[in-house]
Amino acid sequence: MSGTLVLCGAPIGDVRDVSPRLGEILATADVVAAEDTRRVLRLAAGLGVTISGRIVSCYDAVEGARAAQLTEHLRRGETVALVTDAGMPAVSDPGFRVVAAAAAAGMTVTVVPGPSAVTAALAVSGLPSDRWTFEGFLPRRPAERRARLRELHAESRTMVFLDSPHRLEAGLRDLVAVFGPERAAVLCRELTKTHQEIVRGDLARLLAWATDGRVIRGEFTLVLGGAPRRPPPTVITASPADAASPADAGTVADAGTVADAGTVGEGRGESVRAEVLAADVARRAATGMSRKEARRVVAAEYGLSRNDVYAAELAARPGRRPAPPDS
C-alpha cells in the first residue's frame, strides 16, 4: 500500500490566492510537514479549516532526517502534506530531499499548485520571459557572490534572483560592478501584500532606490535582463599565416591577432578559425559522442548552424571529406 506526498503551494502574501484544494488537504492529511508549525496553524485558521493530522516540522536543518521519517509514513499508506512558509516547496525552500526520498521509494508524489514569487515577478517585470533562468539566493560571502555573478555575465536569458533585506544593498552593488549600471532590472518587494512595491529601470536606479535612506524591509525578487545576443562569428577558412596577412586583416573584427579569433566563447572577438571548430568536433567525437551530436553542441556553443560547422570541417581537412551533417 502506497501513500501520497502532496506538495502544497502556500500564499506569498494574500491568503485568498491559494487553491481551494489547499484547505481540503490540510484538513484531511494524516501528516502535515511544515517549515514552521506556527505559520501552518495560522494558515489553516485563515482558510477556515482545522488540521486533524499530526503536524511535524520540516525546515532546512532537519529536512534530511525528516525525509526518511515521512517516507515511512508514506509506506504505511498515509497522506503527507508538505507546506513551506510561502510559495512552492523545494523552490528555494525545504522539500527537495523529501520529494527525492519519496520518489526513490516509489511513492506517489502530487502537487496542489499555488502562488510563486518567482513567476509572479517574472510576469510583472515586462522583461523577456520566453526563456529564463532561476538563480535563487546568491552566496552570502562577497567573494563567492561576485564569482557566481561573473559566471552569469554572458547569460542571454532573463534571470530571476531572490534576496533578503539585509543583503540587498551589497548584492545590488555587486550586480552593478559585474553587469554594469545600465542593465535592465526590476525589483519586486512584498508581492501581493499590502505594501507591494515594484521598482523598474536599470541596476543603477535600483541601487539608488535601495540607498536613498529608506529602511529596507520585506522579501525581494529581482528580475534581471539577459546579456545582448551576439551575432554569429565569422568563420575564417584561410590558414593562420594567410589570415594574418594585411589582405585578410579586416576579417578579424576587434581581435588583435588571429590567435584571438579562436576563442569566441571567451568574448575576445567575432571570428573563429575553421580548424578550431573542426578540432572541437573531433575532441567531442573522441569521447564517444556521435559526430552529428558533436556538431550540434559546437554549433550551439559558437552561435552557428550545423552546416556552418560542417563547412568548417571541410575547409580544415580538404583532403578528407567528413560524413554529411545529418549522419
pLDDT computed for residue 320 by the predictor: 52
pLDDT computed for residue 323 by the predictor: 58
**For residues 21-38, b (16+ Cβ closer than 10 Å) or e, as one string?**
ebbebbbebbbbbbbeee
Residues 258 and 177 grouped into a single domain = no
315/117 Cα distance (integer angstroms) = 51
Write out pLDDT tens, residues 122-141. Answer: 999 999 999 999 999 999 99
Per-residue pLDDT reduced to its tens digit, 149-174: 999 988 999 999 999 999 999 999 99
Distance CA(173)–CA(13), nearest Å, equals 28
pLDDT band at 250, cuts 50/70/90? very low
Identify each DSSP E strand in 86-217 by its residue range: 108-112, 132-137, 158-163, 184-189, 197-202
The reply to whether 229 falls in a domain is: no
Are residue 20 and residue 53 in the same domain, yes or no? yes
Domain with 91 in it: what CATH number? 3.40.1010.10
Burial of residue 11 (CB within 10 Å: 0-12, 13-18, 19+) is buried
Domain-terminating residue out of 79, 96, 115: 115
**Higher pLDDT residue, 321 or 301?**
301
Q: How far apart are CA 91 and CA 192, in angstroms?
A: 18
**Residue 173 to residues 17, 169, 249, Cα–Cα distance (Å):** 34, 6, 40
Per DSSP, what are the bridge partners of residue 160? 134, 223
Residue 130: which domain range? 118-224
Q: Tell me, what CATH number does 181's domain have?
A: 3.30.950.10
Q: Are strands 158-163 and 220-224 parallel, antiparallel or unpaired?
A: antiparallel
> Which of these three, 54, 87, 115, is where a domain ends?
115
Band (259; pLDDT cuts 50, 70, 90): very low
**How many angstroms separate the CA atoms of 113 and 51, rounded?**
19
In a shared domain, residues 63 and 142: no
CA dist., res. 120 & res. 248, Å (int): 51
Give the list of residues 6+ apart from residue 192 with CB closer than 8 angstroms, or none.
11, 12, 13, 14, 17, 115, 120
Question: If you count DSSP H runs as helices and E runs as strands, how many of each does the chain have, helices first?
Answer: 12, 12
Question: pLDDT of 29-63, one tens digit each?
Answer: 999 999 999 999 999 999 999 999 999 999 999 99
Written as nine digits, the cell of 44 is 489553516
| Torsions phi, psi for 322 (to 5 deg) | -70, 170
169 lies in the same domain as 215: yes
The pTM of the whole model exceeds 0.85: no
Note whether 10 and 93 are same-domain residues.
yes
> Among residues 82, 115, 148, which one ends one of the domains?
115
Q: In this structure, are 30 and 94 located in the same domain? A: yes
Number of domains forming the structure of the chain: 3
Q: Is residue 132 part of a domain?
A: yes
Residue type, 242: D
